[in-house]
Structures are given as C-alpha cells and as structure tokens.
C-alpha cells in the first residue's frame, strides 16, 4: 500500500496561525459504519500532543491501536487541512489509486486481517504505520478502480438505506415496549378502585448488597456475585461473573433466591432501577452494593413486581428519586422503599402479567427479526466488498474494455 500512498506532514496546530482547528480522534469514529461521529475544535491550549497530522480531503485514517483497528474513516472536503491523531496511519492516495477505492480497500478483511496479524504489545497493543503501509493490495487500472467504486457506492447506498429503516424500526419497537409497560400499569392517580396502593417497602423487603473490598479478592470461602454489569432490563448477563471471599455467615445473608428482583442502584438517570429477576441460575450466587434486592411479599407475584419496576424505570419514576454524584444517579434503599407500588388482587396480577408477556414476546420477536436482518446486511456488505476486490463486480466491464490482452488505461498489478 505504501507504494501508492503519499507522505503526510506533521506539525503543531499552533504553526497554522489559526485560533482553532478540527481534530479527528480515534474515539470519534464508529468502528462498524466507519462514520465520523464528531470532530471537535481544539486550540493551542486544548489540543492534545497527538494532534499533529495534517489532513487532506480524500485521505483515509486507519487506527493503529487495538482494540480500535477498525476505526477507519474517509476524510471529506470540509476537513481539508485539519488535523488527525498520531494514533492513525493516514493513507493519502497518490496518482495511481483512487481515494474512494483506497478507503473501501482499507475497511475490508483483506487489509484489516494483515494488520491484525502484526499487532504487538500486551498492555497497549498496536501496529506501526509502516506495517499498515506494507500491506499487499490488488491494484487494477484507475479506470477499473473508479468503476468498482461506482458499483460499490450504488449497492452500498441501498444497504445503507435498509440499515436506516431497520434502525428506525428497532427504535419504534423499543418505544412500543415502553408504551406497553406504562399503559398496562397506570400512574397512581389512575389506579382502579379494586387495587390497593402501597409502597415498594410495603409490598416486600428491600436490601442493598454487600460492599466489595480488596481484602476479599481471595480467601477460603469464595463465591460468585452479581454486580451492576450483570443486570440488564429483564435479563441477566452472565458472561462475566466475578467471585470474592465471604467471611463468616455473610454469604447466606446476601445469597440470591429464585424470584428475587435485582435493581441497579447506580446508573444513568434514565436507566436507574433497571430490573431483572433471578431465576436460580447461576446457583449459589450473591449480590453487591451496586444492586438492590426486592423480595416480594405473600400477596405479590415476583413477575408482577418486575413489570411494575420496568414501568417505573421507563416512566422516569426512579429517576425522580435519584441523587446524582459524579454524573451517576443513585437510588438508595430508603428512597426505593418509599416509591408507590400498585397491588391488584393476585388473580388480576397474573392476568396483567400474562397479557403483557404475550405482547412483549411479539415485540421481542420483531426486534429479533430486525437484528437478524441487520446481521444479514452486514454479511452482504462484507461479501460485496470481497467480490469487488476479487474483480467479480467488473468482470463484464473488463471484457468489454480489453484490447489486445491489455486494459484501456494503465496495466493492473499488486502494490
């Protein structure tokens, strides 16, 4: 690749004589869509030391730092003569390669896999610019490069439109979940007369989990525990369950029992109190003080309590009880206990839960289908790029433009 790329100048932004410059940083690129999420303005005071590479319109920036090797983006005209982090290898097309052709090559496994095989380091794995530039790429003549780009952009525009539609459909499904929960269990002023109005503390018991401590990382009585990273809305993520030492009889106090509901004690305000029910898996597990536990009383179905808590979270009821410290909202046990809790008769609780579950299951199926379709779109995108750089997309075009065994324009090759 280095044979078809031009060198890139490095300078201090102060040398430009401008009070502010735009700065492309690794965190400002989406690793899946390769879109620029945001390009902040910086000045001589706020510009980080990495802000040193001068960009040109048509460049491709390729992150050299793992796990961000797929943070790759094309530089549009409005970023001409702005700056990029030295954490990028800036690929500047020379006269023998089309700028969009170079970008599309950079986002394919053909290039990324070569770069990944070269990454070094443990605490801060990375590759060198020269290693990115040493990757081998196919190089058809410029006319064919431009034809490939035209075909790719036509097909990819249709895939992008489909992705936008799928994203909107997924958001509508999320809004439907919220609407179902909020409408099935109304606010306090609209409770039916047959419902008892109590509080969370009156409907069951609330307890904060056990605090973690470095002294308990090892010990003779190790047991797993759940923390806020394990508790999502209506599901537990058990991919990373940690353990700690539980001295004395402390584990029994915080051991979870099937039917216990766990709520996030600290979160972003709109996710505060995010609840999930523990159904016995994994067994013999406890919880820490990043979570609150609700144990339903005899006249409350745990599944109904879960629905109430999901409703309160989406309606912003928990957020109104929060206290914010360092941008994280907290919901104390005492404040949770005081939140209103509707209490229909048990048979009506079951009817509400069954009806909501049927509706939510239908919405969940829609979300699953949307996700599957989006995944197929990504697979099709990868297949399309692979076909482009095998020459499949331009086979007919090449056949029409071959004269005496040569393509019109330059000879092709590999660089």
Other C-beta atoms closer than 10 Å to the C-beta of 205 total: 14
Residue with tokens 């996700």: 371
Task: Please return the burial class of 216, using the count of CB atoms within 10 Å of its CB with bins 0-12, 13-18 and 19+.
Answer: middle
Asked if residue 238 lies in contact with residue 221, where contact means CB atoms within 8 angstroms, the answer is: no
**pLDDT number for residue 407:** 41
What pLDDT, on the 0 to 100 scale, is given for residue 12? Answer: 86
Give me the sign of the Cα torsion angle 185, 186, 192, 197.
Answer: positive
Q: What pLDDT, on a 0 to 100 scale, did the predictor assign at position 414?
A: 60
State the 10-residue block means of pLDDT for the chain, 415 residues long: 92 85 92 90 88 94 82 95 93 96 93 82 75 92 94 93 94 91 85 91 94 78 91 93 88 94 89 94 91 96 96 91 79 93 94 93 94 93 91 86 48 56
CA–CA dist 153, 30 (Å, integer): 19
194 contacts 320 by C-beta, under 8 angstroms = no
Q: How many residues are there in the chain?
A: 415
């Amino acid at each position: 690749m280095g044979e078809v790329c031009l060198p890139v100048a490095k300078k201090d932004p102060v040398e430009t004589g401008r009070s502010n410059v735009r700065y492309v940083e690794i965190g400002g690129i989406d690793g899946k869509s390769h879109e620029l999420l945001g390009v902040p303005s910086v000045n001589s005071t706020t510009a980080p030391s990495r802000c040193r590479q001068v960009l040109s319109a048509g460049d491709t920036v390729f992150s050299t730092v793992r796990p961000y090797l797929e943070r790759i983006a094309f530089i549009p005209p409005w970023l001409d003569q702005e700056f990029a982090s030295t954490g990028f290898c800036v690929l500047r097309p020379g006269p023998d390669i089309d700028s969009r052709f170079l970008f599309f090559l950079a986002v394919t496994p053909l290039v990324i896999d070569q770069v990944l095989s070269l990454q070094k380091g443990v605490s801060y794995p990375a590759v060198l610019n020269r290693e990115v530039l040493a990757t081998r790429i196919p190089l058809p003549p410029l006319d064919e490069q431009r034809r490939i780009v035209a075909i790719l952009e036509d097909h990819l525009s249709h895939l992008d439109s489909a992705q936008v539609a799928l994203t909107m459909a997924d958001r509508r499904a999320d809004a439907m979940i919220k609407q179902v929960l909020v409408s099935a269990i109304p606010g306090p002023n609209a409770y039916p007369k047959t419902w008892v109005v109590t509080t969370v503390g009156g409907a069951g018991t609330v307890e904060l989990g056990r605090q973690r401590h470095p002294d308990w990382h090892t010990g003779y009585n190790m047991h797993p525990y759940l923390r806020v990273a394990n508790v999502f809305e209506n599901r537990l993520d058990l991919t990373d369950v940690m353990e700690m030492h539980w001295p004395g009889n402390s584990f029994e106090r915080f051991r979870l029992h099937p039917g216990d509901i766990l709520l996030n004690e600290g979160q972003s305000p709109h996710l505060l109190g995010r609840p999930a029910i523990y159904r016995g898996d994994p067994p013999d597990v406890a919880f820490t003080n990043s979570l609150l536990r609700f144990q339903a009383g005899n006249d409350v179905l745990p599944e109904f309590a879960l629905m109430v808590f999901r409703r309160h979270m989406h309606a912003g009821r928990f957020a109104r009880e929060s206290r914010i410290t360092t941008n994280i909202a907290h919901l104390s046990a005492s404040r949770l206990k005081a939140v209103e809790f509707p209490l229909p008769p048990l048979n009506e609780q079951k009817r509400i839960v069954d009806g909501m579950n049927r509706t939510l299951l239908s919405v969940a199926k829609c979300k699953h289908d949307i996700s599957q379709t989006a995944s197929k779109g990504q697979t099709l995108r990868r297949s399309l790029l692979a076909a482009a750089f095998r020459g499949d997309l331009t086979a007919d075009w090449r056949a029409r433009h071959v004269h005496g065994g040569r393509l019109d324009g330059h000879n092709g090759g590999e660089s």
